[in-house]
Structure 1
Amino acid sequence: MINGIGKKWKLKSSAPEDFLAEWPEYSPLVMTLLRHRNILTQEAVDKFFNPEYSLDLYDPYLLKNMDKMVKRLQKAINDEEKVVVYGDYDADGVSGAMILEIVLREAGCKNLSVYIPDRSREGYGLNEKAVEEISKGGNQLIITVDCGITDCKETKMAQDLGMEVVITDHHLPLGDLPPTKIIVDPWQKGDKYPFKSLSGAGVAFKVAQALIKKIGNFQIGFDKWLLDLVALSTIADYMPMVDENRTLVKYGLFVLAQARRPGIKALMKVSRVEPEMDRVNLATNLDTRTIAFTLVPRINAASRMDHANTSYDLLKIEDMEQARVLAKKIDGLNRNRQKRVEEIMQEADARYSANPKEIIFAGDESWPKGLLGLIASKLSEKYYRPAFIFNIENGTSKGSARGVEEFNVVSAMTECAKVINVFNEYGGHAKAGGFSIKSEGI
């Protein structure tokens, strides 16, 4: 069935009667939905509805290279090396960088700093200028968060400058891996981790879990107080709410509701979010929709309209009054973001409506790089078409891509790259990616 703007609705068949008969305690509609999610056993149903933190998380050491990662971090701590956590600029990367900073400092890492690139000027992932600046600071180890899996040239550059790079990421590898022996990414070849769809901060959390487990002198339950950041990242990156993610988000929402971080508490205040808690049942009125449409856009607004350091500072800050000031600043950035997105959407919408095609491909010199992903998402959702939206500059144009169920944007760009040499770089997930393209190739 297709609606007026081209969105396809696939009507799923009802579950067989014999399957429904096995679950009389649930409605036929609920069991049909679960069946189409391949949730077919009593164990899977119980895990879906009532995930248990102590039972339903996988051993972090099942991730390929986790043992190597922990040993390398221990060496850096013991030798008092200068370490940089290099995070992406979105809510996922910022949350993941915060997780690693908290755990590494608690583990005794004395010479630690965090670097988050400027979304508009530096773009996604490691970049040569940043690597050079980090090297000038005498740093010895770079730990990437939510990025790095495609940064072969930059990793080699860091090595040539005398630094080591270890990678934590959740994006799809493309071709050759960066020249480092320590990569933790559930999508890399040979990884046997049971669940692949962790967020970038989710992968960072597994590293944190592994380090906590290895060192052993952390306070009991220390890892649970990181779950608010894991939940934020998982919701922000639209990771599927199944399997391990469901457990992480359930308990993460409960930690969020307690608002132990002054920055989170202040951000909830300006967002008019009033959390409630049922401590007996570990439940809260907060849900994924509330977080996705209130906290996440504000956290991301900092990198889109200013710099992600503002959001990072908000998550890290301990003074309540300073947290209120930062939260108000971020709320103002978000209001400006909303206004600008609406203006660009009207323009992009008018262009596509005048000349509709199977793929939305549009760019402009005036469209800010920090807003391209939002525009691509809105256009793709409205017309149910893959959308490639970019900012046009002399020499190089950078953009964001969003796909639909039948169209893998990364695979599409990979196939294009085989035919014509226009991409400087690209990467991402099946339904969301980024790219840098030669402007003359547009």
Structure 2
Amino acid sequence: MIHQIVRRPRVDDSHLPDSLSPILKQIYASRGVSPEDCELSLGKLLRPDTMAGLDKAAQIIADAIEAQKAILIMGDFDADGATSTSVCVLALRMMGAQKVDYLIPNRFDYGYGLSPEIVAVAASKNAQLLITVDNGISSIEGVAAAKALGMTVVITDHHLPGHTLPDADAIVNPNQDGCEFASKSIAGVGVAFYLMSALRAELRSRNWYQRQNISEPNLGQLLDIVALGTVADVVSLDTNNRILVEAGLQRVKAGRCRVGITALLEVAKRTPSRIVASDFGFAVGPRLNAAGRLDEMALGVETLLCDDIMLARRMASELDGLNAERRDLEAEMQQEALKSLESVELNEAELPWGIAIYQADWHQGVIGILASRIKDKYHRPVIAFAEAGEGEIKGSARSIKGLHMRDLLELINSRHPGMILKFGGHAMAAGLSIQAGQFAQFADAYDKAVREVLAPELLTGELVSDGELTPEQFKLELASELRNAGPWGQSFPEPLFDGYFRVIQQRIVGEKHLKLILETECGRVMLDAIAFNVDLKTWPDATIQYAQVVYKLDVNEFRGNQSLQLMVEQIEPKYNTN
């Protein structure tokens, strides 16, 4: 799909420091950056005392540590869950907890969250204190089962709560009613980090470290893991999240990160000293996620917990292999899904506003990525389903701007009681289960609900550009400045530019990537550019002499030399530039 290009209007940037280049000042101002936000120091993190339930949870965990109770961390099977679990296990061990273990449900056997079935597994491990991370806010039955077995339960989560909360001993979730913590978009790993910081303070107040003759731990050592989980979970990078991510990136650049992250960067062919947030999102995160999608997320957790670089490299290599398998599965499923939509693609009026797709042999672990790919192609909210056993199918939903997916599922559920067996999630992503025999009815109800709540103009995809660069601005120095001005990510997008160029050279590399040499309209500057995954029906084409290009500035490094390169987001042939 060719997206409409929308340029950001110029805004007043006089409040920002003149030490920034004029173009960066404008980019920051357009994203709502204040002068205070320009310095991402840890001292500017939001105070923990506004996070509801934090003190109570810290006291419960401190009591358990002093009593040497068995503590079990219950994580989710994605990158946020794996990093949250790792942060808690490492922090608790650093603080002298004697009995700490973790449990990640296998998505194929137990599904998502703290279910009564996984509580039974926790009981077999003799857990006395159960701490959920990145899940639990909707686990009414699971918490009840744990309490019935005599366990103490602390929930930490960031997902949106339902109307009823579980009867846990403490709940820490910035999105629960009454919580004044300002960063509502914090990831599960961020919530876990705040809890461990509060626990450290609670133990300090009890003179725990002196009594145990141990040093009070520096939890800053865990910020590389926090940064990885925050970026990989694609939460909005508000100022607080940007501070956490920037601190983690700096640890990696300085060579002070966990060996597991170093090993994952190695297999992804990324240079730690030059890492940016997108490397966590597109290189490290998918390899970590691959364990939970296709196998056991315990492999991902163990990689992050590991202290031996050689062992970490072996585990990272295994994760890399799982990720390659995941990509192959995804490509095959995407082709099948696109083929099933071809008949309606020719007539856009027939294309559902809300796309629901299902095939019996699709893999549960990949449907989320599949939904995201189809959403990107058609710019419509998508739910992809796969078999879940016992007559049920599980769906993974991805939304577009203007449609809150979890609220939409709640609307469908209120109108069709019993159709959705369970659901939960965020504005942009959600999960649900239905009976396989109800797929057609659900797809129809889903499409009707989308048509009701979504404005028609939102079905047209947009690329929001920061404008056109002058020939003098195509400099390596500007690319480097923008690269280091992040971290960029969700809701704090990396600078994007657009313009018309003459196409000097074009060739396909790596099967479906387009390598280009472009010339500015005035003919003064020649530029290297690359566009990934182009439409091979259009490119290459020697008759195309001009194109409208939407791009990011990138610093390309090859054999120790750096050069300017355009990373093409969209390229559209233009046969007349007037």
Instruction: Give TM-score, length-normalised by structure 1.
Output: 0.91
- Give the CA RMSD over aligned residues: 1.9
The one-character-per-residue Cα deviations of 1:184-207 (angstroms, maximum 9, x if unpaired) are: 000000000121111100000000
Supply the distance in 2 between the matched residues of 1:86 and 1:8 (Cα, whole angstroms): 44
Contact 1:7 1:382 in 2 (8 A): no
- Indicate the structure with greater strand content: 2
- Structure 1 distance, partners of 2:390, 2:200, is 48
Q: What does the per-residue CA deviation read over 1:111-165, in whole Å, with 9 as the maximum and x for residues that have no partner?
A: 2210001122222111221101212332211100000001111111111121121
The one of 223, 228, 231 aligned to 2:224: 228
Aligned length: 421
Q: Secondary structure at the match of 1:113?
A: strand
1:9 CA displacement: 4.9
Q: Which amino acid aligns with 2:234?
A: Y
- Per the TM alignment, residue 312 of structure 1 is displaced from its structure 2 partner at its CA by 0.9
CA distance 1:223–1:6, shift in 2 (3 Å): same
Which residue identity is paired with 1:245? N
Aligned to 1:373: 368
Rounded to whole Å, the distance in 2 between the matches of 1:113 and 1:146 is: 16
TM-aligned CA distance change 1:21 to 1:266, over 3 Å? closer
- Greater mean alpha carbon deviation, residues 250-259 or residues 5-14: 5-14
Q: Which residue is equivalent to 1:116?
A: 104
Contact 1:82 1:112 in 2 (8 A): yes
- SS of the residue corresponding to residue 142 of structure 1 reads strand
How far apart are residue 405 of structure 1 and its match? 0.7
The residue aligned with 2:421 is 424
**CA contact under 8 A between 1:6 and 1:384: conserved in structure 2?**
no
Q: 1:88 and 1:201 mapped to 2: Cα distance?
A: 11
Q: Which moved more, 1:313-322 or 1:428-437?
A: 313-322
1:272 pairs with one of 269, 285, 306? 269
Q: What is the identity percentage for the equivalent residue pairs of Structure 1 and Structure 2?
A: 32
Match of 2:380 in 1: 385
Deviation at 1:106, TM superposition (A): 2.0
Measure, in 1, the Cα distance between the counterparts of 2:78 and 2:117: 20
Name the amino acid aligned to 1:346: Q
Specify the code of the residue in structure 2 equivalent to 1:410.
Answer: R
What is the CA distance between 1:10 and its match in structure 2?
A: 4.6
Seen in structure 2, the aligned counterparts of structure 1 residues 321 and 12 have a Cα distance that, compared at 3 Å, is closer
> What SS is found at the alignment partner of 1:436?
strand
The corresponding residue for 2:298 is 309
Paired position in structure 2 for 1:126: 114
Give yes or no for the alignment of 1:106 onto 2:94.
yes
**Within 2, Cα distance between the matches of 1:353 and 1:99?**
45
1:186 paired residue among 174, 195, 199: 174
Q: Structure 1 residues 192 and 325, CA, compared in 2 at 3 Å: closer, same or farther?
A: same
Alpha carbons of 1:415 and 1:336: their partners in 2 closer, same or farther (altered >3 Å)?
same
Equivalences for residues 316-355 of structure 1 within 5 A = 316-355=305-344
Amino acid at match of 1:331: D
Equivalence for 2:410: 414
Task: Give the counterpart letter for 1:329 in structure 2.
Answer: E
SS at match of 2:153: strand
1:357 corresponding residue in structure 2:
352
Q: Structure 1 runs of 4+ off > 6 angstroms?
A: none
Higher alpha-carbon Rg: 2
Equivalent residue, structure 1, for 2:435: 438
- Once the two structures are superposed, residues 307-353 of structure 1 have per-residue CA deviations (whole angstroms, 9 ceiling, x without a partner) of 10111111112222222211111111111111111111111112223
1:280 matched to which residue of 2?
A: none
**What is the CA-CA distance between 1:254 and the residue it aligns to?**
1.5
Code of the aligned partner of 2:35: V
Superposition map of 1:195-234 within 5 A: 195-216=183-204, 217=209, 219=215, 222-234=218-230
- Distance change >3 Å, CA 293–CA 318, structure 1 → 2: same
SS state at 2:155 partner: strand
Question: Match for residue 145 of structure 1?
Answer: 133
CA contact (8 A) 1:352 1:360 kept: no
| Partner in structure 1 of residue 32 of structure 2 | 38
Identify unmatched segments of 5+ residues in structure 1.
Answer: 277-284
Taking the aligned partners of 1:30 and 1:411, their CA distance within structure 2 comes to 37
Match of 1:401 in 2: 397
- Pick from 259, 262, 278: which aligns with 1:262? 259
* CA distance in structure 2 between the partners assigned to 1:265 and 1:242 by the alignment: 26
Structure (1/2) with the larger helix percentage: 1
> What is the match of residue 482 of structure 2?
none
1:286 deviates by 0.9
Deviation at 1:76, TM superposition (A): 0.6
Q: What displacement does 1:247 show?
A: 0.6
- How many angstroms does 1:440 deviate by? 2.3
| In 1, Cα distance between equivalents of 2:50 and 2:196 | 14
- Per-residue CA deviations over 1:362-399 (Å, capped at 9, x if unaligned) read 01111111101111111112211101011034421112
Does structure 2 retain, via aligned residues, the 8 Å contact 1:7–1:383?
no
